[in-house]
Structure 1
Amino acid sequence: MKHLQQPEWSWRAGEGDFVHQWVKPLNDETEIPDMILYGAPISRSSISVSGASLYPMEFRKLWKGFSTYNLDEDLDLSGYAVRDAGDVTMHTTNIALSHQRIEETTSELVRTFDLATTCLIGGDHSVTACAVRGVKEAFPSERVGILQLDTHLDVRDPAELGPANGTPIRQLIDGGTVRGEDVVNIGLHGYFNAAPLVTYAKEKGIRMVTLRKARELGVAQCVVNELSLLAKKVDRVYVTIDMDVLDIAVAPGVPASTPGGMSAEELFKSLLAIGQHKAVRHIDFVCLDPTRDTATNATVKTGVYAWLEFITGRVLLQRGK
């Protein structure tokens, strides 16, 4: 695939019980993997200074610290075939060209591996608009829904900011890729979305579930309920996890994390539930900046853990649990 390159960091390990030994490179397009993993190392499109372009590399580096066995679920993930397709090649200065490459790569991957779940590791949140457009290009007759876990609506005006990380949902709605009524955002809270953005969301029919409301039911159960409603309207669901949905106390490596956000456990339980829903076909994890993290890589470790919880859900789905 023309825009994919070997990741900046990759393990050269044999067989074993750890994640870096389990995830294999994608070497054969005739394979039928369960998940295709790929990175989009871009953060020049971030409104504020961000090193999120480094996350795909740091994410892979920390695999060595995680085994494939989930003690909580008494479940070994090693039978679930994850193939790492590498990273989309980013242009040094041309953001639009980099975004086009993400879109084209996503379209090619989801067409080629139409039975696999695709997982994109960002990068800032601008990558979501590119990836969803790629999915729609591959399946133009299908209706795509979005489940977004985020502190922000991300509906700022690209006419003012360009295709930045604060604009992906608006890009997709205004561009006709998705319908506003097919977007669900869980995790909104506090004082981090200006009134005009909320007005836009209401006008477009975006389903906004505040974190306070979600907690009344239980965040994971709220996610299950909203996914079930969304799945009745659409053909496939794209999930986007902005890591700034986490509380700032547990996500120091996320520049836009805020007080009052999700706990790590709320995110983990939500991803376990998301993974078990058959309508979910694509997921991304975005906006984690390793340069802001602690010396112990606390936030990157949380990101790897979150990804593994989603995969645990996929394995449970396969087993019909």
Structure 2
Amino acid sequence: MQRVNRPYVGIPSFLRAPICTDVSALDAAIAVFGVPFDEGSPFFPGSRMAPRTLREHSLRFCAGGHGYYDPRTRSEYLAEEMRDNLIADVGDVDIHPTNVERTFENITALTAAVLERGAMPVALGGDHSITDSILRAFDEKLHVIHLDAHTDFAPFEHDMQHTNGHAFRHVAALPTTLSLTQVGIRSLRHAPAQIEDVIDSGNRVVPINAFRELGPNGIADLLPDNSRVYVSIDVDVLDMSLTPGCVSAEPDGMSYADLRDTLKAIAQRHDVAGFDFVEVNPLLDVRTGVTSYLGALTVVEFLGQICAQPRWAARRLARPR
């Protein structure tokens, strides 16, 4: 008899996807993994718990295991991916508490193993210090689109370089980074160098006012058509009224529709090599877990848009078997 499988039963893998702890045997087109790390968050801990809550809330989108249906478009998304087990949950990066360098090496190693199997990595953070370790696993040149209230481009001062405020100074310096485009920037807690150094290095800062002038399609238009891109999504790109479970939330942010439509435009215009979603802090969230729910929704909808593109079928078929 077929199981009912309500969201509150069973082991909470992302979208109830098969769990594959031996990545060398991975036979999926998409590999979701958690990075339960928040030692890069200097203000308040707790985002290490987010991969678990994001998985739990993702189960609310598993109706019948046949993808999700969008009433606005009257279309179903991820149906084939979920039916044919093309999404796998490969577990969490092994965290070595207080040994940041070892943890970051583990992040790179797991991402590299996923890429070797021809799967697209989807990382659930954790704080935003993890992104450059993910990108170090790629051996191809990528444009990086970073959606955030903050540039995370802090100078390396006071012997600090691995906080969630430093990641994109590392990313911009990687030999595989073709360009860095930072969208939604608005926090008044930036030092001048955190903005001017991005621009002086030849990269883009798109503050929230400029985003509203460009719109979602305008953001996608900033790169040549069919660019290979990596996307890093900080939940605080959204307005703080939507994100009680985020320690670095800021006012005057994007609406959910702004973020959804921007990710859709990126998926339609460009070839997404991978993405991460970070900075949900379940310890601060309200009891219904709305920030975790919003995070799971963002990841699920972005995956749906990526897999709805014609280019996706060719990528799926080309992976090693």
Name the TM-score class by shorter chain.
0.7 to 0.9
Identity %: 27
Question: SS of 1:24's equivalent?
Answer: coil
- 1:196 counterpart = 2:190: no
Q: Unpaired runs of 5+ in structure 2? A: 1-7, 314-321
Deviation of 1:88 after TM superposition, in Å, equals 0.5
Deviation of 1:259 after TM superposition, in Å, equals 0.5
Q: Which residue of 2 aligns with 1:132?
A: 135
The match for 1:26 among 3, 17, 20 is 20
Question: SS of 2:121's equivalent?
Answer: strand
Q: Which moved more, 1:40-49 or 1:167-176?
A: 167-176
- 1:238 counterpart = 2:239: no
Distance in 1 between the 2:312 and 2:120 partners? 17
Q: Which residue of 2 aligns with 1:225?
A: 221
- 1:92 counterpart = 2:88: no
Q: Which residue of 1 aligns with 2:283?
A: 291
Distance in 2 between the 1:290 and 1:127 partners? 18
Distance in 2 between the 1:270 and 1:203 partners? 25
Q: Which residue of 1 aligns with 2:3?
A: none
- 1:153 counterpart = 2:151: yes
Question: SS of 1:134's equivalent?
Answer: coil
- 1:308 counterpart = 2:313: no
Structure 1 residues 46-69: Cα deviation after superposition (integer angstroms, max 9, x where no partner): 122221111100111112322432
The match for 2:206 among 201, 204, 209 is 209
Question: SS of 2:88's equivalent?
Answer: strand
CA contact (8 A) 2:37 2:127 kept: yes
Deviation of 1:193 after TM superposition, in Å, equals 2.1
Question: SS of 1:290's equivalent?
Answer: coil
- 1:263 counterpart = 2:255: yes
Q: Which residue of 1 aligns with 2:316?
A: none
Q: Which residue of 2 aligns with 1:173?
A: 172
CA contact (8 A) 1:158 1:171 kept: no
Question: SS of 1:253's equivalent?
Answer: coil
Change (3 A) 1:213 1:162: closer
CA contact (8 A) 2:127 2:279 kept: yes
CA contact (8 A) 1:40 1:122 kept: yes
Structure 1 residues 155-197: Cα deviation after superposition (integer angstroms, max 9, x where no partner): 1123432311100111133454535xx0001111252322122
Aligned residue pair count: 294
The match for 1:249 among 234, 241, 245 is 241
CA contact (8 A) 1:277 1:317 kept: no
Change (3 A) 1:227 1:120: farther
- 1:107 counterpart = 2:112: yes
Change (3 A) 1:263 1:95: same
The match for 2:274 among 282, 286, 292 is 282
CA RMSD, aligned part only?
2.5
Structure 1 residues 290-314: Cα deviation after superposition (integer angstroms, max 9, x where no partner): 1111111111110011011111112
Change (3 A) 1:319 1:199: closer
Distance in 2 between the 1:158 and 1:31 partners? 38
- Normalising by structure 1, we get a TM-score of 0.84
Question: SS of 1:303's equivalent?
Answer: helix
Distance in 2 between the 1:284 and 1:111 partners? 18
Structure 1 residues 26-61: Cα deviation after superposition (integer angstroms, max 9, x where no partner): 267455422111111100121222211111001111
Distance in 1 between the 2:174 and 2:59 partners? 41
Question: SS of 1:262's equivalent?
Answer: coil
Distance in 2 between the 1:200 and 1:315 partners? 35
Q: Which residue of 1 aligns with 2:44?
A: 49
Structure 1 residues 75-105: Cα deviation after superposition (integer angstroms, max 9, x where no partner): 1423112110100010122111111111121
Q: Which residue of 2 aligns with 1:5?
A: none
Distance in 2 between the 1:157 and 1:11 partners? 45
Q: Unpaired runs of 5+ in structure 1? A: 1-8
Structure 1 residues 89-128: Cα deviation after superposition (integer angstroms, max 9, x where no partner): 1012211111111112112211222xx3210111111110
